[in-house]
Structure 1
C-alpha cells in the first residue's frame, strides 16, 4: 500500500474510532457496569477509552505507516512566545466562540445542550475529573486532529487549505453529539484557529496547552455558575 493509501486509511480509522467512542461509549459502559445514569466514574472511564484510541493510532503510525504520529517536527520557541501564543489563541477562541454562539442563539433560539446540563452535576467540585477531562481533550484531540490528520490530508492532496479545513470540519462533527448547532460551529471555529496556527508555527504543545486552558476555564465557570445562564458563552 502506498503512503497516501496508508495515510487515508489512518485518517478514516481515526475519525471512525473517535466517532464510535462519542456515540456509543456511554451505552457500552452502562451495559458493562449496569449503571443506568451518568456518573463521575462512568465519565472517567469514557475518557480512558479515548486515550486507548490515541494508543491505537500511535501503534498504527508506528507499525503500518512506519512514521511518527505527528509527522511535522515541533519548532522550538522561547518561553515568552509560548505564553503569548497560548493567551492569544485562548482569547481568539473564547471571544470568537462566544460571538458565534450569541449569533446562533439570536437566529435559532436554541436551548443549552441537555448533555452539558447533565454533565454539570458530574463536574461539580470534582476537580480531579475536571483536570483529567481537560487533559484528555487537550492531548488526544489535538494530537489526532491537528498532529495526525491535518498534515496527512495536506500531503495526500498537496493542499494546506484542505489540511486545515478537513481537520477542523471533522473536529466540529465530533462535537455534534452534544446536540446543538452551537456545539458544532464553536468547535469548527476553534478547529480552524488551531489548525492555521499549527500550519504557521508547527508546535503541537502550544495548541494542547491552549485547548486545556480553554476547557479548564469553561468547566470551572460551569462549576461555579448555573450553566443555564451561560448559553451564549
Structure 2
C-alpha cells in the first residue's frame, strides 16, 4: 500500500473509532459496569476510551505509516505570542460561535440539545471531572483532528484548503450526536478557525490550550446557570 493509501486508511480508522465512541460507548460501558445510568463514573470511562483511540492512532502512525504522528514540525514562539494567540482564538470562537448559534436558533427554532442537558447534570459541582473532560477534548480532538488528519488530507490531495475543510467537516459531523444543527455548524466553524491557525502557525499546543479554555468556560457556565437559560449560548 502506498503512503497516501496508508494515510487515507488512518484517517478512516480515526473517524470510525471516534464515531463509534460517540455513538456506542455508553451502551458498552453500561454492559461492562452493569450500571445503566448516566453517572460521573460512566462518563469518566468514556474519556478513557477517547485516550485509547488517540493511543491506537499514534501506534498506527508509527508502525503502519512508519512516520511521525505530527507531520508538521511544531514551531516555537515566545510566551507572549502564546498568550495573545489563545486569547484571540478564544474570542473569535466564543463571540462568532455564539452569534452563529443565535442565527441558527432564529432560523430553526431548535432548543437546547437533550444530550447536552443530560451531560450538564453530571458536571454539577464535579470540578475534577470538568477539568478531565476539557483536557481530554482539547488534547485528543486537536491531536487527531488537526495534528493527525489535517496534514494527511493535505498530503493526499496536495491542497491546504481541502485539509482545512475536511478536518473541520469531520469535527462538525462528530458533534452531530448532540442532536442539533447548532452542535454541527458551530463546531465546524471552530474547526475551520483552528485548522486555519494550525496551517499558518503549525503549533498544536496553542490549539489544545484554547480548546481546553473554550470548553472549560462553557462547562463552568453550565455549572452555575440553570440549563434552561443556556440556549442562547
When the two structures are superposed, what TM-score results if normalisation uses the length of structure 1? 0.99
Aligned-partner Cα distance in 1 for 2:169–2:226? 30
Matched, 1:20 2:33: no
Q: What do the CA deviations read for 1:100-121 (whole angstroms, capped 9, x no partner)? A: 1100110111010001111111
Deviation of 1:131 after TM superposition, in Å, equals 0.2
Deviation of 1:227 after TM superposition, in Å, equals 1.8
Aligned-partner Cα distance in 2 for 1:228–1:170? 29
For structure 2, the residue ranges without an aligned partner over 5 or more in a row are: none
1:45 is matched with 45
2:173 is matched with 173
Aligned-partner Cα distance in 1 for 2:75–2:37? 45
Equivalent positions of 1:102-141 (< 5 A) are: 102-141=102-141
Equivalent positions of 1:62-77 (< 5 A) are: 62-77=62-77
Q: What do the CA deviations read for 1:195-222 (whole angstroms, capped 9, x no partner)? A: 0000000000000000000000000000
Equivalent positions of 1:1-233 (< 5 A) are: 1-233=1-233
For structure 1, the residue ranges without an aligned partner over 5 or more in a row are: none
Deviation of 1:150 after TM superposition, in Å, equals 0.1
Aligned-partner Cα distance in 1 for 2:17–2:7? 15
Q: What do the CA deviations read for 1:10-31 (whole angstroms, capped 9, x no partner)? A: 0000000000000000011011
Number of residue pairs matched by the alignment: 233
Q: What do the CA deviations read for 1:24-68 (whole angstroms, capped 9, x no partner)? A: 000110111111210000000000000000000000000001111
When the two structures are superposed, what TM-score results if normalisation uses the length of structure 2? 0.99
Aligned-partner Cα distance in 1 for 2:16–2:194? 22
Q: Which runs of 4+ in 1 moved over 3 A?
A: none
